[in-house]
Structure 1
Amino acid sequence: MIQLSNVTKSYEVAHETFDVLSDMNLVIEKGEYMSIMGPSGSGKSTLMNIIGCLDRPTTGQYHFQGTELSAAKDQELAVIRNQSIGFVFQQFHLLPRLNARRNVELPMIYAGISQKERKERAELALEKVGLADRMKHMPSELSGGQKQRVAIARAIVNKPQLILADEPTGALDSKTSMSIMEQFTQLNEEGTTIVLVTHEEEIAAYTNRTVVVRDGRLVEDRWIQGDAMNETL
């Protein structure tokens, strides 16, 4: 589903070039449940942004579902983000003046879906994440866990093949974090590919595979199959 080949991401600061990602090679198969770990500044969020078509590699190739996207036009990337990828962030990014249902409807507006269908699909998505009784609540009337569930509903409403979650439990207490991770696990069991960035081992433990990024390089790739853990350095 996803293949990064010799990907480098560089930035120029004060006439000096800094590599945030260096010669990154990574393959993610359809249906995987994977976490990306690493210290602050390791490049894990940059890696996530490239996978999510929010940023482009400086060099190297990025294939998404068989299509090479390094030279894709911005409009092409926008369509992929809207139709094929759902995003969940640590800070929820809900619009404060819209209720839960209307926040979930937003990706469908950009996709050109009719108002009637938007309403129906948003309500189904909120029911799926356990918020059938909170559809008309404003973000200010929701707990942190409920806000994140709205964000998950918004991420799944266009039925994406891939969900990217950047520190999705970072602003939540441990009990609520467990509930959110159980939601991701259920989505994965239903066939959705999920990749999440986290700095917490207990969150990464929910996933079947963990890659570790350090100084812009992939330094560890471990996954669990049945009761056995396999590890590649």
Structure 2
Amino acid sequence: MIELIDIYKKYQLGKENITILKDINIKIFDGEFLAIMGPSGSGKSTLMNIIGCLDRASSGLYLLNKQEISTYNDEDLAKVRNIHIGFVFQQFQLLPRLTAIENVELPMIYAGVSRKERRARAEDALRKVGLSERMKHLPNELSGGQKQRVAIARSIVNNPTLILADEPTGALDTKTSADIMEQFVRLNEAGTTIVVITHEPEVAEYASRTIVVRDGKILAPNSNIKERKERKER
């Protein structure tokens, strides 16, 4: 479980202090599918970066599985990211000169996994997202939806407990977006905690709970359990 307690994030801009996040208190439960919604400039991406250990809060506590990581150094935070968190980004973040399977293998190289095991696990991850026939293709030989599936395969290959997806459908058409979100639903149903950052209500409907961020603050959380059930039944 993740718990953020009294989180503030401030930046120094010249002589002025800019507060991006104010008094953030969140619990993210194991196995949950959470959507964090908000317009541009609301602070939702900053919040994602803190949850993903890509940035640090200016003050407050961050508990991961009851361990306080607020004071971890950069090396320790990198270990947390590599072991516990998988990332999926809007622009895929694939290396253009590497094949799909080589892109998926990258997190395991940093984790010190042997070459043979890396290849086996990468192949398995790509099969799970329906890309068994595209493993040796370069990114420029893949559609947008296929690139995002590679990114999802890369995010799950180290068996993280949490996947953070930042606007994962922002560069995709409507049908492909629905396919990608169904991939997240299947991963969540298999036990992975999913947090999706989005400004699209249609994307948030896939989650079981939605948190709305506006002007750096969290508004009252909503439950999407009913909407998600109705969508699956249609």
TM-score (norm 1): 0.96
What is aligned with 1:129? 129
Partner of 1:66: 66
> Could you tell me how far apart the structure 2 residues matched to 1:197 and 1:161 are?
17
Report what 1:37 is aligned to. Answer: 37
Instruction: Mark the CA change 1:192 to 1:37 in structure 2 (over 3 Å): closer, same or farther.
Output: same
In the alignment, structure 1 segments of 5+ residues that lack a partner are none
Is residue 55 from structure 1 mapped to residue 55 from structure 2 by the alignment?
A: yes
Is 2:184 the counterpart of 1:184? yes
Over 3 Å counting, the alpha-carbon distance change for 1:214 and 1:130 in structure 2 is same
> What is the match of residue 108 of structure 1?
108
Secondary structure of residue in 2 paired with 1:55:
coil
Counterpart of 1:81 in structure 2 is 81
The Cα shift of 1:86 comes to 0.2
| Other structure's SS at 1:7 match | strand
Query: What code does the residue aligned with 1:187 have?
Result: L
CA contact (8 A) 1:213 1:220 kept: no
**TM-align CA RMSD:** 1.3
Q: Could you say which residue in structure 2 is the equivalent of 1:197? A: 197
Task: Give a deviation string over 1:89-124, Cα, whole Å, max 9, x none.
Answer: 000000000000000000000000000000000000
Displacement, 1:226?
5.1
Query: 1:139 is matched with which residue?
Result: 139
Aligned residues: 229
Moved over 4 A (4+): 225-229
CA distance in 1, matches of 2:97, 2:24: 41
Q: Provide the C-alpha distance between the structure 2 equivalents of 1:148 and 1:48, rounded to a whole number of angstroms.
A: 19
Q: Matched residues, percent identical?
A: 62
Is residue 206–residue 228 contact of structure 2 (8 Å, CA) maintained in 1? Answer: no
Q: Which residue matches 2:151?
A: 151
- Where 1:134 maps in the other structure, the secondary structure is coil
Q: CA deviation at 1:224?
A: 3.5
Distance 1:57 1:95 in 2: 30
| Paired residue secondary structure (1:213) | strand
CA contact (8 A) 2:37 2:44 kept: yes
How far apart are residue 227 of structure 1 and its match?
7.3
* Cα offsets for 1:117-139 (capped at 9, x unmatched): 00000000000000000000000
Determine the C-alpha separation between the residues in 1 that align with 2:226 and 2:175: 26
Using the TM superposition, give the Cα deviation of residue 225 of structure 1 relative to its aligned residue in structure 2, in angstroms: 4.3
Offset at residue 32 of structure 1 (A): 0.4
Deviations 1:39-68 (A, max 9, x none): 110000000000000011101101111111
Q: Distance in 1 between matches of 2:38 and 2:111?
A: 34
Instruction: Note the C-alpha offset of 1:73.
Output: 1.1
More divergent stretch after superposition (177-186 vs 219-228):
219-228
The code of the aligned residue for 1:70 comes to S
CA contact (8 A) 2:205 2:227 kept: no
What SS does structure 1 have at the residue aligned with 2:126?
Answer: helix
| 3-state SS of 1:132 partner | coil
In the alignment, the residues of structure 2 paired with residue 16 and residue 209 of structure 1 have an alpha-carbon distance, to the nearest angstrom, of: 35
CA contact (8 A) 1:36 1:44 kept: yes
Distance, in Å, in 2 between the alignment partners of 1:97 and 1:15 is 44
Say which SS state the counterpart of residue 54 (structure 2) adopts.
Answer: coil
**Matched residues in 2 for 1:16 and 1:160: separation?**
39
Q: Secondary structure at the match of 1:131?
A: coil
Pair 1:187–1:151, CA change in 2 (3 A): same
The answer (yes or no) to whether the contact 2:3–2:25 under 8 Å persists in 1 is yes
